Amino acid sequence: MIGEEYFDLRSKLGTDLYVLASLVKELGGSGDDVHILENLIASLRDPFVFVVVGEVNVGKSTFLNALFGADFSRTGVTPTTDRIYFFKHGNEVSSTTIAPSVEEVRVPCGFLKDFHIVDTPGTNSIENEHQQITERFVPMADLVVFVFSAMNPWGASAWQFLEKVHRHWMRNVIFVLQQCDLRTPEEIQVITDYMGQLSRQRFNRDFPLFAISAKKAYLARSSGLDRERLLAESGFLALEAHISETVTQSPARMTKLGSALRLAQHVLDQLMHRTSTRLEQVQERKHLIDEMQAEREVQVLRTKTKFTAALDVTDRDYREAAMHVVTLADKNFSVRAAFRAIKEDNRLPANLDLRIYQDMLARSGERWHQVASILEDDFKRFEDYISHHWRGELHLTELKNDEGEDVSTEARLHFISKFESAMRRFVLGLKIQETVEPGMMRSRLRARRFPWIVAPFMPATAAVWAILGWQAGLIGAAVTLLTALMLLVILRAGLRHTLRQLADQFDNARDTLRTILSDQATEETVNAFGIFTRLLQPAREDLQHEEQSKRDVSTRLHEVQTSFQKLAGQLQGHLPPS
């Protein structure tokens, strides 16, 4: 293929530019960068322009068809190219007159995407088109092919035409001696020698000259029979090699690739810089969140430690309250009270648990309100710490509840209500009533039985007194008294025992109270500070996600970078010395 090396470089660069542009877009980069890259991609597509000139019927159109292996230009024995044909790529064949005697023809031929071909009528046919060709097409041409026929290479019009070409553009001119199959190699040698001599005389320079047979080349390409031999004989291989070199060595094109690469490299550098800066930021942010999480845990411990004093004081308060209740109970637990209770059936000490609950609230309530305020203050301070470190990126509006109340205040109120219910739970857990009731019932039963046991002794004593005399009567009275006394002692011992049980119960529950309150306070603190985890965790996950995607992008950018370096190396050999 003609210009394979150039097209290979160009297509690699095009792919890299495309990848880079999509990365810029993906990263939401600047529209300018995307625009630059898209323009670069479009500019790479600039096709090569070949202009073919020569006298009528020398085989210009046949030469073009053979060169590109396609029948896109009409050929024939009579003059067929009657105007300037500008061949470009199109999805279907179409033809538009773009200027008097200039026709733009669109043909669905792949190579026309890279090459625009200008086929011209014979220089000896219509004079007024010469100007158009020299002024309009030659300056835009990468290659101007002068075709001569081996049958008559000396037609004056082609040579005259060449004189009209500005010297500047002559460097793009090559000579093609066509239809060489109609002459012997010796004749061709004579002709080419003379053509060289002539061009040196008239233009003071040599033009690259190729003796070819488009007919044979076309046959080789189209039929495939005896392909190698036909192609070798056609002289096309040397010509194609020269054109390839012209294309690949085209300083303008290579410089263009080079500057496209440089511009793209600049965009890439910026993108890489931005990506790595952002990656660093993201990692920093992630680290910061981890630090804040750790700090949050420490803060929870710190806040919890502040409860110890309150727990100690509450323990003391509890002992006092318990003592008070035991004293209170003591009055109800007297023998007299037991006897009084016979009449009034439900004379258990009323609601001892409610009393101790209220007593505890009265003694320690204020202290725990203070603890709740400590929690609120610590929470606010931590909120400040987070806002400060997170520089407003975290949406602390979330730290309001549905009613728009501060979460810290909510935490305080919640703490207080939870403290009260913990107390209630504890007091219920004491099961005072259950401890006291059996003993009370027993003593009441004993009190109730007392008269029934003691009463029969009285008439018995009286009878003994009457029958056996006063001595026996006295003994009977003593027995009665002793029995009554014994019963009272038993009754009192039972009551003491119950009271002791109650006191022990209170004492044993001290640890439970401490545990319940400590657990409750810990739970409230952990819950309150838990909101920061709920706030930080999604942010951390987002960052984690972004970190991963930035790493992926970075890898892809490095791939483009590597490819750019390779391209730069390849281009180096083709760039004109600066």
**Least distance to Mg ion, CB of residue 218, Å:** 14
**Least distance to ligand GTP, CB of residue 192, Å:** 15
The interface with Mg ion within residues 522-561 (CB under 5 A) comprises none
The interface with ligand GTP within residues 102-121 (CB under 6 A) comprises 121
The residue from 3, 59, 235, 476 that contacts ligand GTP (CB under 6 A) is: 59
- State the burial class of residue 479 (Cβ atoms within 10 Å of its Cβ: 0-12, 13-18, 19+): middle
* Torsion sign, CA atoms 470, 476, 479, 484: negative
Return the structure tokens found at 44: 């790479």
DSSP states along 322-390: HHHHHHHHHHHTSHHHHHHHHHSTT-SPTTHHHHHHHHHHHHHHHHHHHHHHHHHHHHHHHHHHHHHHH
Look at residue 551 and give its three-state secondary structure: helix
For Mg ion, which is the closer residue by CB, 82 or 233? 82
Inter-residue contact 150 to 191 (CB < 8 Å): yes
The residue from 37, 67, 214, 264 that contacts ligand GTP (CB under 6 A) is: 214
Look at residue 52 and give its three-state secondary structure: strand
Which span (21-29, 73-81, 441-449, 559-567) binds ligand GTP, by CB under 6 A? Answer: 73-81
**Least distance to ligand GTP, CB of residue 84, Å:** 11
Residue 76 interacts, among ligand GTP, Mg ion, none and using kind-specific CB cut-offs from 5 to 8 Å, with: ligand GTP
The residue from 181, 295, 330, 546 that contacts ligand GTP (CB under 6 A) is: 181
**Least distance to Mg ion, CB of residue 69, Å:** 17
Residue 208 interacts, among Mg ion, ligand GTP, none and using kind-specific CB cut-offs from 5 to 8 Å, with: none
The residue from 13, 61, 123, 311 that contacts Mg ion (CB under 5 A) is: 61
Q: If binding means CB under 5 A, how many residues of this protein chain bind Mg ion?
A: 3
The interface with Mg ion within residues 74-133 (CB under 5 A) comprises 81
Site string for ligand GTP, 496-515 (x = CB under 6 A): --------------------
Q: If binding means CB under 6 A, how many residues of this protein chain bind ligand GTP?
A: 23
| Contact status: 178 vs ligand GTP (CB under 6 A) | yes
The residue from 17, 24, 57, 207 that contacts ligand GTP (CB under 6 A) is: 57
Return the structure tokens found at 286: 């992630």
Residue 370: which of 314, 412, 321 has the closest Cα? 412
Residue 58 interacts, among Mg ion, ligand GTP, none and using kind-specific CB cut-offs from 5 to 8 Å, with: ligand GTP
226 Cβ contact partners less than 8 Å away, ≥ 6 residues apart: 220
**Least distance to ligand GTP, CB of residue 163, Å:** 20
Residue 55: which of 193, 189, 150, 194 has the closest Cα? 150
Residue 525 interacts, among Mg ion, ligand GTP, none and using kind-specific CB cut-offs from 5 to 8 Å, with: none
For ligand GTP, which is the closer residue by CB, 119 or 359? 119
For Mg ion, which is the closer residue by CB, 37 or 64? 64
For ligand GTP, which is the closer residue by CB, 61 or 250? 61
Report the first-to-last Cα separation within the chain, whole angstroms: 29
Residue 421 half-sphere exposure toward CB, CA atoms < 13 A: 9
> Strand order of the sheet with strand 102-107?
94-99, 102-107, 84-89, 115-119, 48-54, 143-149, 173-178, 209-211
| Contact status: 123 vs ligand GTP (CB under 6 A) | no
Residue 53: which of 118, 128, 135 has the closest Cα? 118
**Least distance to ligand GTP, CB of residue 565, Å:** 46
* Torsion sign, CA atoms 69, 71, 73, 78: positive
Inter-residue contact 145 to 63 (CB < 8 Å): yes
**Least distance to Mg ion, CB of residue 241, Å:** 25
The residue from 47, 69, 79, 473 that contacts ligand GTP (CB under 6 A) is: 79
Which span (73-81, 218-226, 256-264, 353-361) binds Mg ion, by CB under 5 A? Answer: 73-81
Which span (26-34, 46-54, 57-65, 558-566) binds Mg ion, by CB under 5 A? Answer: 57-65
538 Cβ contact partners less than 8 Å away, ≥ 6 residues apart: none
Residue 122 interacts, among Mg ion, ligand GTP, none and using kind-specific CB cut-offs from 5 to 8 Å, with: ligand GTP
**Least distance to ligand GTP, CB of residue 245, Å:** 23
Query: What's at 531, amino acid-wise?
Result: I
Residue 57 interacts, among ligand GTP, Mg ion, none and using kind-specific CB cut-offs from 5 to 8 Å, with: ligand GTP
Query: Residue 526: how many CB atoms within 10 A of its CB?
Result: 14
| Contact status: 408 vs ligand GTP (CB under 6 A) | no
Query: Residue 397: how many CB atoms within 10 A of its CB?
Result: 7
550 Cβ contact partners less than 8 Å away, ≥ 6 residues apart: 275, 278, 279, 282
**Least distance to ligand GTP, CB of residue 114, Å:** 22
- The residues binding Mg ion (CB under 5 A) are 60-61, 81
- The residues binding ligand GTP (CB under 6 A) are 54, 56-62, 75-77, 79-81, 121-122, 178-179, 181-182, 213-215
